[in-house]
Structure 1
């Protein structure tokens, strides 16, 4: 079994609104479940997927198999959004599904929020996204990182949440910056031969959308 075939099977299942389970992947790829498990470990080591303790796929950015604070509804599918970044990225990766409806609640006060997010431009709104974990540490615990990329009513709600949780302040983005961050980050991920950005290319991309400072490795 070719690992690129496995990677594409994982991503295309998520794109269709299905969670890619090891048993189903083995049937689709006409191989043994043990081969799928080994292939997923290889993909996880290359940071293409995130695995749970049972070896099943938890995340394949921008997709998630577990709820992390966002739901995203397209024309024919519904997904858990892995985080604010990933939720805003889905209509760019899947333009035929958009505009998508991104829904969440403010972690500080519980107020509901929803936006129609498409490819033409950022949605309107005064809400802000708070990213807790800096880029240099994002892969230390990917689920924790994504669970803490959330959208708040305002910076006042960010401050209230930080006080309540005892967490240190990360970086705050307005919705337009969040949209630009998500716009092209996952370009090509559903295509054969996708290559992750090297650090220098990632830094160029981040600075190009207006992000600065050591939080972003710049």
Structure 2
């Protein structure tokens, strides 16, 4: 990336990390002492390289694991409240922000509307019989990343997953327990608040998924018959 793009990326991520809010383009322009056009160019570069996702107005919606809109999860620290982009991102925030030893992750079950909350820390997975259901395979995460994240949810159990699938007409994705979700989130975003940030190569991502107990075509450890290649750039 260009230097301005990397500095802009750091401002976005550190802004989210410290306040729960993305700094505005005007704030970034002023702090970096560059013209607004330079920030616009940097944001385009960051979006093209999938460090961020923006809406129709060009505002940042996702800078994983942070989100600027409600996609179903709130994450409460001691002094900061975040929107979690998904189950994966919400469980990842305490692992990324080192001065937050634990957070309160809250959501509702898409199948029945029941409220759920867990204290998620960095030592061990939270207790609970709930199940995570991820709808979109890793190969298609960035086809519509907001849709992908909005459908990485936590359900009461199999009955609620089946009810939701029937109501929405979706096909079953990947289902796993909270301990696996916690392991998936534990190290995935390491280094994202530092510079330079190097995204995992596909082979590294595949090995990571396997190491936390996630296997099969959904996770790219076996080929999808209708699409070759896998995209792990989140």
Write out per-residue CA displacement over residues 82-122 of structure 1, whole angstroms, 9 at most, x where no aligned residue: 00000000000012123100000001111000000000010
Residue 24 of structure 1: aligned partner = 27
Structure 2 residue aligned with 1:4: 6
Shift of 1:28: 1.7
Please state whether the residue corresponding to 2:106 is helix, strand or coil.
strand
Specify every segment of 5 or more residues in structure 2 that has no aligned partner in the other structure, as ranges: 222-234
Number of the residue aligned with 1:83: 86
Q: Distance in 1 between matches of 2:32 and 2:85?
A: 26
Normalising by the residue count of structure 2, what TM-score does the alignment of the two structures yield?
Answer: 0.91
Aligned partner of residue 204 in structure 2, secondary structure: helix
Output one character per residue of 1:151-184: Cα deviation in whole Å (capped at 9) or x when no partner: 0000110010000000010000100000000000
Partner of 2:203: 200
1:175 is aligned to: 178
Q: What is the Cα deviation at residue 19 of structure 1?
A: 2.1
Distance between the aligned counterparts of 1:71 and 1:29, measured in 2? 30
The answer to whether structure 1 residue 185 and structure 2 residue 185 are counterparts is no
Deviations 1:46-97 (A, max 9, x none): 1111111111111100000111000000111000000000000000001212
* Shift, 1:134, TM fit: 0.2
1: CA distance, partners of 2:56 / 2:204: 32
User: Structure 2: how far apart are the matches of 1:16 and 1:179?
Assistant: 22
Q: Name the structure 2 match of 1:15.
A: 17
Give the corresponding residue for 2:74. Answer: 71
Mapped to 2, the partners of 1:30 and 1:128 lie a distance apart of 47
Cα separation, 1, equivalents of 2:145 and 2:65: 12
| Number of residue equivalences | 218
- Kept after mapping to 1: 8 A contact 2:4/2:38: no
Distance 1:6 1:59 in 2: 14
Q: 2:98 corresponds to which residue?
A: 95
Normalising to structure 1: TM-score of the pair? Answer: 0.98
